[in-house]
Amino acid sequence: MDEERIDNGKRNFLKAMIVISAGAAVAGVVKGLVSNIIPPTTGLTAFPTLVLVDSDTGLPIHTSDITVNSTKAYVYYYPLQNDPNFLIRLGDQNNNDVKVVSKPVVVPATGRVFTSAAGVGPYGSVISSSAICQHLGCIPPIIHYYTPGTPIPGHPTLVSDQKNAQNGMLTGYVHCNCHGSTYDPYNGFAVVTGPTAHPLPNTILEYESTSDTYRVKSMVGPTIYGKPNDLSGGTAFPSGTTTTPVNKISVVS
């Protein structure tokens, strides 16, 4: 009787070891597959400071290189190599620079409020934001800046109603053609139309007046879409990188 119990105990122990070994083998295979599918990523511990340069010449961007109400999207990568951002020099319907001041911006999804980035440059009109739509992550050119008076697909009233309460000027919008989200670049890239419930993260620029050059320093507002935080979830620029190129991308409104 006792011997039988001991034999049963041995059999159960062996069965358990077989199950554990098989599980470990499967886990090893799965881990191998996953690490082959998902590329390793490297993040950062702090926002880098990078000078904005022309993608063709590698030379610093000056104010005259940034067209007011450009019909091309100016896009650069920050804070990681995978994160596209808009560079916009905002204007009114007559292409006069419009100064952008920082102000409270509400995140509809959470009710949280953040203080938007102010415009920089000689006219306070150069601003920047993440170029990844906060709804489901579409990127330029399908999301881009529509200059003042340009019809926005699916939102005819946005053009006719876009009168600024203070001075009656026509304004432009950043709009995503994937599902219709619209953002207000004059007011911290706040949400104008859904389905997004998050403003675009504001990218903070710094202007050096003596050299007429622009640096990107950090970000404020919601986390970049699809990332655990702004500094991870992608690949960092190589150590020692001091610049980020601005590309001019053609868009179709």
CB of 27 to ligand FES, least distance (A): 35
CB-wise, 104 or 153, nearer to ligand FES?
Answer: 153
Shortest spacing between CB 108 and ligand FES, in angstroms: 14
Look up tokens 């920082």; give the residue: 102
Contact footprint for ligand FES (CB under 6 A): 133, 135-138, 143, 176, 178-181, 195-196
Task: Please tell me what DSSP assigns to residue 231.
Answer: T
Whether the link from the prior residue into 141 is cis, omega within 30° of 0, is: yes
Min CB(182)–ligand FES separation in Å: 9
Question: Residues 124, 129, 131, 136: is their CA dihedral positive or negative?
Answer: negative
- The least distance separating ligand FES from the CB of residue 200, rounded to whole angstroms, comes to 10
Decide whether 137 or 245 has the Cβ nearer to ligand FES.
137
70: closest CA among 54, 55, 97, 90? 90
Q: For residues 71 and 93, what is the distance between their CA atoms, to the nearest angstrom?
A: 13
Alpha helices in the chain (DSSP H): 2-37, 156-160
For ligand FES, which is the closer residue by CB, 198 or 215? 198
Which CB sits closer to ligand FES, 53 or 131? 131
